[in-house]
Structure 1
């Protein structure tokens, strides 16, 4: 339990750091941090229970996008203000790094392993964001203007 609380706090601070780096408005910093921290907490829990990093990343990205959507509607700010900093902790930087390192070491089997995992994680992030943003586009659909 303590580990999850620590993960939440560290992810919260890290997400706020990325939000500052991306020039997020001051009024949205704490909410962006909350979205990233909840996403990381979900990611950690699901990855621990299922040992499936791609599924954990997909579900965490999905909830980060949902939280960002709610904050964007309530605060009247663009959704990117909330989801971009929240997604950054989930980006598979370690996988991409180890892919390049394995290529330099001419260990192509490990490079393929790390590279395919990083690619699947990236696709799961993109897929989750696409699903949430698509659902939102249906909500915003307005009636066509009738010309008399």
Structure 2
């Protein structure tokens, strides 16, 4: 249990750090950190339970995007303010680094293993964000249709 609390805290701090780096407004830094920390906590829990990094990344990215969507609506800020710093802890930098290192060491089998895993993680992140952003677009279209009056 202490492992997950520690992960939550460090992910919170790291997400706020990236949010500051990306010039996120100061008024939303704490919410941005919360989204990233929830995503990382969910990722580490699901990865421990299922052992499937790609599935854990997809679900965590999905929830980061949902949380970002909620915060974007309540704070009237762009959704990217919340999503981009929140996703950064899930980016497969470790896998990309070891892919390049394996290529330099001419260990192509290991490079293919690390590279394919990093690619699948990246696709999982992109897929989860695409689903949530599509739902957001659909919600906005429904909202606009409901505001139209039948009189001209």
Q: Tell me the TM-score range normalised by the shorter chain.
A: over 0.9
Secondary structure of the residue aligned to 1:140 is helix
The TM-score with structure 2 as length reference comes to 0.94
The TM-score with structure 1 as length reference comes to 0.97
Asked if 1:38 corresponds to 2:49, the answer is: no
Alignment partners' CA distance in 2, 1:145 and 1:126 = 37
Q: What do you get for the CA RMSD once the two structures are aligned?
A: 1.4
Alignment partners' CA distance in 2, 1:104 and 1:7 = 32
Alignment partners' CA distance in 1, 2:140 and 2:111 = 43
Q: Deviations over 1:20-73 (max 9, x none)?
A: 000000001000000000000000000000000000000000000000000000
What stretches of structure 1 of length at least 5 have no aligned partner?
none
Alignment partners' CA distance in 2, 1:34 and 1:12 = 6
Which structure 2 residues correspond to residues 1-148 of structure 1 after superposition, within 5 A? 1-141=1-141, 142-143=144-145
Task: Report the number of matched residues.
Answer: 148
What stretches of structure 2 of length at least 5 have no aligned partner?
none
Q: Structure 1 pair 109/4, CA: closer, same or farther in 2 (3 Å)?
A: same
Q: Deviations over 1:65-99 (max 9, x none)?
A: 00000000000000000000000000000000000
Give 1:107 shift: 0.3
Alignment partners' CA distance in 2, 1:111 and 1:4 = 30
